[in-house]
Chains A and B, each alone.
Chain A
Amino acid sequence: MKAAAAPLEVKSLTKRFAVGSAIRRRAHVYAVDDVSFELRPGRITALVGESGSGKSTVARLLARLYEPSAGEVLFEGSDVSRVRKRRDVLHYRSQVQMIFQDPFGSLNPVKTVRHHVERPLRIHRVVPSSQVEERVHELLRTVGLVPPEDVAAKYPHELSGGQRQRVSIARALAVEPKVVLADEPISMLDVSIRIGILNLMTKLKEERGIAFLYVTHDLASARYVADDILVMYAGQIVEHGPIEEVLSAPLHPYTRLLLESAPDPGAKVHEIELRKGDASAAVDPGAGCRFRARCPLAIDVCSQVTPELVEARSQHAARCHVTAPAP
């Protein structure tokens, strides 16, 4: 299957943060380390990992909230990670939009829904002023906020969490973006309305061909909406591929651990083997696999050589000496 060209491509993206004081010798945290992937139109790519694994940093780098330490973010072929001209930045922002986790914090409490959805329409001059009102209503209908005339006049505090998140989505859609970055969009919502937001993402990808990056720690919801998956551990992508294939036959031991840990209503308390360590970003990482201390499969080479992403199966790659050895 040949998919359409990727509007957004990430190559060897790296973000280091300095730690320690100015006087002491500084170390660097590799929050994102040599990450490469593509977002394709009409596909949802899930980026999963534990807190501290760097997944939100990736989304923020793509949204230009951070500047990368190394690597490129290519939008329709040109590197946008370092553009500074207001016009170029605006153009990029009109094509790549972000939805945040907290629907309470991302809306201005003293402004109406209309204001939130209208602003991007005016700033990016998406439609002539005379049509703004009509477009606002259309957007609200698209995200399922009906009747739009009533909703538009409301303030954020009058809406439920799910409705607020829908306003955020309507706002993101206002500029007709090609890419939407959704950073844990459902984790703060009530369970009964989460599915509605996920279904909305699916509808938008199908109807508008939007490329989604869905950042989450919840594998089950990723499986529900996404087509592809990227698994991050300590700043690196350790496995990627079509989601059904990755979840049904995971290669990397970390992906397996994540799958084993997820609640399984079918089984009665199934125990997993506990090992010390966590997925926080690596501080000045040396050579070797970052997961080795927690890995049940670790062999000698794991502590000496950093594994590369190896495509062990068609389109399905992992960073592991044991399950995906270099050819």
Chain B
Amino acid sequence: MTSLVEELPVSRTSDATLLELRELIVDYGFGERRARAVDGIDLAIREGEVLGLAGESGCGKTTIANAVLQILRPPAHVTGGSILFKGEEILGKSAAELRRYRWRNVSMVLQSAMSALNPVMRVGDQFVDAMRAHEKINKRRALVRAGELLELVGIDGRRVSAYPHQLSGGMRQRVVIAMALSLKPELVILDEPTTALDVVVQREILQQVEALKRDFGFAVLFITHDVSLLLEFADRIAIMYAGEIVESAPAERFSSSPQHPYTQGLLKSFPPLRGPLTRLTGIPGSPPDLRDPPAGCRFNPRCPHCRPEESALYLRQTSERPRLREVEPGHEVACHLVDGGAE
């Protein structure tokens, strides 16, 4: 029996696009009460890349993850656009096709490992279930592989016989990550994987994900509200606000020259742990109601650069939706300020 790591290609990193979202629109509900959670998103993830998707709660980041896996629950539904995995349309696939696509092509780690694991089933059996749902493998072999997977995330392989409550929060989250890797997916979606965990455990887990990514070569869609975490772990970052992507760029660009006022405000919302301490302001106001978003730029009610005195610009900001525009190679911003101002 070959070990798990040997079965895997060493690295799949290349420039080929793995997942592509085109003009994706997801609505919750219909008619008058409809809330457009994701509004015309374009997003691409290349093989082997870590793409960070950041934004506040309710901005639509988890909805995107659910749409990619086609696990949106009513009243949420995809209204328009397309989701291409290796060029193949995911929308409209049959349940059987989707079952093959999930876990094998794309797997997901949810925020709360506590609710992702079955409390009355041994951890190993949950691995076996997941594997046997997707491939022909006998139980004993699946259990051996479960043990190997646990070792990969730094847990003693004998813990396959443990129940979830016998593991700490950090270990449970690692179990879920190991499970997400069990079918060697090409893309792993991490949805706030460490939000419920302590900083030390968070770093351990992210360090492990880094190491596993080096060995397995999968791509990661890392969803979080913590931009400071992405600055360190992501290759590229996309910032979402009220259902739209307002800025996307390589991670280094975000620390050196963030362009969108929302991104700037977000970065200024994290007090520094080192260096000089200045008084921060955060961002005044709160995100809009998606059932009735502000006209024009959705950030305009909270934007420090949106002032009625500058009438020409103000008119555009409050009536015209800014489009994503490339300001530097690979750096896109949707803002009237960088979009030629008040011309």
Contact = CB atoms under 8 A, between A and B. Distances in A.
Interface of A: 50-51, 160, 162-163, 190-196, 198-199, 217-221, 223-224, 247, 257-272, 274, 278-280
B322 interface: no
Given A217-B198, A220-B273, A196 B232 contact: no
B286 A190 contact: yes
Interface string B181-217: 0000000000000000011111110110010000000
A274 B229 CA distance: 19
B282 A192 contact: yes
A160 B200 contact: no
A90 B207 CA distance: 50
Contact of B269 (A195, A262, A265): A195
A160 B56 CA distance: 12
A266 B206 CA distance: 17
Given A220-B270, A258-B200, A272-B207, 6 more contacts: A192-B282, A195-B281, A220-B273, A247-B273, A269-B207, A278-B201
A269 B231 CA distance: 9
B265 interface: yes
Contacts of A199: 279-282
A280 B167 CA distance: 13
10 contacts: A163-B286, A191-B270, A195-B281, A199-B281, A217-B199, A218-B199, A221-B271, A262-B199, A263-B228, A269-B210
A268 B232 contact: yes
A194 B198 contact: no
Given A261-B202, A278-B168, A192 B56 contact: yes
Contacts of A247: 273
A191 B225 contact: yes
A224 B276 CA distance: 10
B226 interface: yes
A219 B198 CA distance: 11
Contact of B283 (A192, A261, A270): A192
B36 to A, nearest CB: 19
B169 interface: yes
Interface string B41-75: 00000000000000011000000000000000000
Contacts of B14: none
Contacts of B268: 195
Contacts of B57: 190
B231 A261 contact: no
B271 A224 contact: yes
Interface residues of B, number: 43
Given A190-B286, A261-B199, A267 B232 contact: yes
Contacts of A195: 268-269, 271, 280-282
A182 B33 CA distance: 37
B154 interface: yes
A262 B272 CA distance: 10
A262 B232 CA distance: 11
B314 to A, nearest CB: 22
B204 A274 contact: yes
Contact of A264 (B169, B232, B266): B232
A51 B170 CA distance: 11
B305 to A, nearest CB: 16
A256 B185 CA distance: 37
B255 interface: yes
A219 B203 contact: no
A71 B288 CA distance: 49
A228 to B, nearest CB: 15
B186 to A, nearest CB: 22
B207 A192 contact: no
Contacts of A224: 271, 277, 280
Interface in B115-144: none
Interface string B164-179: 0000111000000000
A261 B200 contact: yes
Contacts of A217: 198-199
Interface string B276-316: 01011111101100000000000000000000000000000
B204 A190 contact: no
A191 B280 contact: no
Nearest to A248: B274
Given A195-B269, A272-B203, A278-B168, A263 B281 contact: no
Nearest to B199: A261
B255 A265 contact: yes
Nearest to B262: A192
Contacts of A268: 232
A224 B277 CA distance: 7
Contact of B273 (A51, A196, A259, A279): A259
Contact of A194 (B232, B274, B282): B282
Contact of B272 (A220, A269, A271, A272): A220
A44 to B, nearest CB: 13
A223 B168 contact: no
A193 B207 contact: no
Contacts of B269: 191-192, 194-195
B266 A191 contact: yes
B163 interface: no
B21 to A, nearest CB: 24
B169 A51 contact: yes
A90 B226 CA distance: 40
